[in-house]
Amino acid sequence: MTRQIAFLDIDGTILDTSGSIPESTVRAVREARANGHLVFLATGRGPTEIGSRILDIGFDGAILGAGAYTWIGTPYTDGSWHEEHLMHPDRAAEMIAVFREVGADYMLQGREGVWTTQGAVDRMCARLAAEGRLTDSLREVLIDRVTIDADPPLDRIAKATFSSEDHGTYGAVKSRLGGEFMVITGTMPGLGTAGGEVSVAGVTKGAALVSVIAELGLDRANSIAIGDNNNDLEMLAAAGVGIAMGNATPEALAAADETTAHVDHDGIWAAFERHGLVQPD
């Protein structure tokens, strides 16, 4: 048996459209690991936004903050970090100034917490509720644990999301920050170009995937990555096989080598079965 390593996004990949974790996904991860394969999380969520119900599935490591943080082997709650990439405080201040200039709310991710405007929290609640996804567990990790702070710690920020009601906001932020940062859109529910993400240039899930595989001494040809959104594009391209969920964005579908079933129809199990990480039912 050739040992494989799989990298899984969370929202829209592990979590279905109701915010639940399909039983088939839990079984796929656990059976793949029991069969000697490695399974990593690979998410845009920061370290404080994961939650025990996801970690309790059992993983061999994680890429968090869309590549800002990685841990290998021991859960990051025990402090076993492989990499951490933070914004320079001057760049973080520049980014926040642009958000305020264009009238955007924001959430700032760090290792120890998330600092946000009230408007960003309210908008996320409204969007998730409109899609029927505002579960108690999502509220706990994505909303209740954040800090409303007009003066966030500039030396502890790795990544930001921004949002507004103006669909020109992404273009406005991109035009001002795109030269120094990585600015993408399409990652937040229902916002389209009224929101997006800002990361340190060059810090992506794909770059983190390459680093993890090198650290473990594995062959990238034996890696698979599964995702559904625009912060998965580099990861889908970097893996030996990039797999888009059936519910993926057009950009993710185009970046992937193949497509699996929709998140509501056992997409991860189907992909693991196709690539021999689990035995067919």
pLDDT tens column, 167-192? 999 999 999 998 889 999 867 767 88
Higher pLDDT among residues 140 and 258, named by residue? 258
Architecture of the domain whose range is 5-84+203-274: 3-Layer(aba) Sandwich (3.40)
pLDDT tops 80 at residue 142: no
Strand partners of residue 40:
7, 61
> How many CB atoms within 10 Å of residue 156?
17
Checking if the pLDDT of 79 tops 60, the result is no
Burial state string for 175-198 with b = 16 or more CB within 10 A and e = fewer than 16: ebbeeebbbbbbbbbebebbbbbb
Range name among 86-90, 142-146, 190-194 with the lowest pLDDT average = 142-146
Q: Is 175 left (phi over 0), alpha (psi -120 to 50) or beta?
A: alpha
Reported confidence tier of residue 247, pLDDT bands at 50, 70, 90: very high
Report, as an integer, the average pLDDT of 158-173: 95
pLDDT in tens, 7-41: 999 999 999 988 899 999 999 999 999 999 999 99
77, pLDDT greater than 70: no
Confidence category of residue 210, pLDDT binned at 50, 70, 90: very high
For the chain, where do the domains classified as CATH 3.30.1240.10 start and end?
A: 89-200
Output b/e per residue, 105-131; b: 16+ Cβ within 10 A.
bbbbbbbebbbbbebbbebbeebbeee
- What are residue 69's DSSP bridge partners? 64, 84
Residues of the chain with CATH 3.40.50.1000: 5-84+203-274
Distance CA 9, CA 154 (A): 27
pTM listed for this prediction:
0.91
Round to whole Å and give the CA distance between 218 and 128.
38
Pair type for strands 114-116 and 159-163:
unpaired
Give the architecture-level CATH label for domain 89-200.
Answer: 2-Layer Sandwich (3.30)
